[in-house]
Amino acid sequence: MKKHIALITGGTGGIGTAICKELASQDIIVVANYFPAEKPQAENWLIEVRNQYPNIFIAAADVTDYDSCHDMLESVKTDVGPIDILVNCAGITRDKTLKSMTPDQWNSVINTNLNSAYNVTQQLIQEMMERGFGRVINISSVNGQKGQFGQANYSAAKAGLHGFTMAVAQECASKGVTVNTVSPGYIETAMTRELPEQVLTSIVNSVPLKRMGTAQEVAYAVAWLAEEKNAYITGANIPVNGGMYMSS
Ligand code: CAA
């Protein structure tokens, strides 16, 4: 049987790395996208993961730039093959209360966390539909569902991402392509390590499981949605948040 090929944007980051390894452990060929300016770090990352996962590759693109994504997608198609699993995972934070949030803090988060999903998915979706199979998984956040003090930019982008999921899911449901969101809560990564300690403590205390999640726990949900036999879930938002936010 032909092996699936997965592209993970932000694949060398905290959650991205766990997703790459989990998909690679399931015999999927994995391409981890990285930001071009971080080439040396990405090459070191590849050396580390290649020991255990020879089926992982890397590809550079600035996901905020449509043309840069186009060039990356063309070279992945030529060098590795057609992508049939896409995980939109690239994301940043620029936390600030709205009254003092600069246009750059707003725009950089919207561009990296939301416009990136358009830039990559728009250039892949037609091919997935023509082949009759595809899995698109958008990594949102609990803060896109409930909002977060200091994150008007991030909460807006992450909420927008699930709107994107629901619309695109309808557009390609009849062609074997599912589109879903995974919404992590507070996960142990570099992003949450930057939070002031008392802020983090009070957040963790509000989580029913009384702990942060692991990137691996997010990766399990992503890998499950990516399975070929998981064909009847589309337009869904799967929370991986320790019970921090519950909805019907
Ligand atoms: N609710 C109410 N008040 C709060 C608050 C909250 N949750 N958090 C902070 N405040 C208060 C502070 O106590 C402070 O009060 P005083 O002025 O009376 O001292 C005031 O708000 C700070 O206001 P500023 O306008 O000075 O704040 P700022 O613009 O410098 O921003 C902050 C502060 C960056 C928002 C900081 O509070 C913070 O880091 N908050 C956490 C944001 C957060 O949870 N980010 C998640 C990052 S991880 C992630 O995003 C991954 C994921 O998907 C979950």
* Any domain includes 43: yes
Model confidence band, residue 60 (pLDDT cutoffs 50, 70, 90) = very high
Q: Annotated active-site positions, please?
A: 154
Residue 68 belongs to domain with CATH number: 3.40.50.720
* Any domain includes 113: yes
Q: What is the pTM of this model?
A: 0.96
Closest-lying ligand 1 atom to the alpha carbon of residue 196: 39
Q: Which residue, judged by its Cα, is nearest atom 22 of ligand 1?
A: 97
Q: How many CB atoms lie within 10 A of CB 52?
A: 10
* Any domain includes 200: no
Closest-lying ligand 1 atom to the alpha carbon of residue 93: 50
User: Is the minimum distance from the CB of 191 to ligand 1 under 6 angstroms?
Assistant: yes
Residue 242 DSSP class: T
What phi, psi does 186 have (nearest 5°)? Answer: -85, 115
* Any domain includes 207: no
- For 104-141, the pLDDT digits (tens) are 999 999 999 999 999 999 999 999 999 999 999 999 99
Rounded Cα distance, 56 and 58, in Å: 7
**Token pair belonging to 101:** 């949030």
Look at the chain and report how many structural domains it folds into: 1
* Any domain includes 208: no
Task: Tell whether the torsion through CA atoms of 138, 142, 145 and 151 is positive or negative.
Answer: negative
* Any domain includes 205: no
Structural domain containing residue 25: 5-186+214-240
* Any domain includes 196: no
Looking at the predicted structure, is the pLDDT value of residue 1 above 90?
no
- For 146-165, the pLDDT digits (tens) are 999 999 999 999 999 999 99
84 neighbors 5 (Cβ within 8 angstroms):
yes
* Any domain includes 165: yes
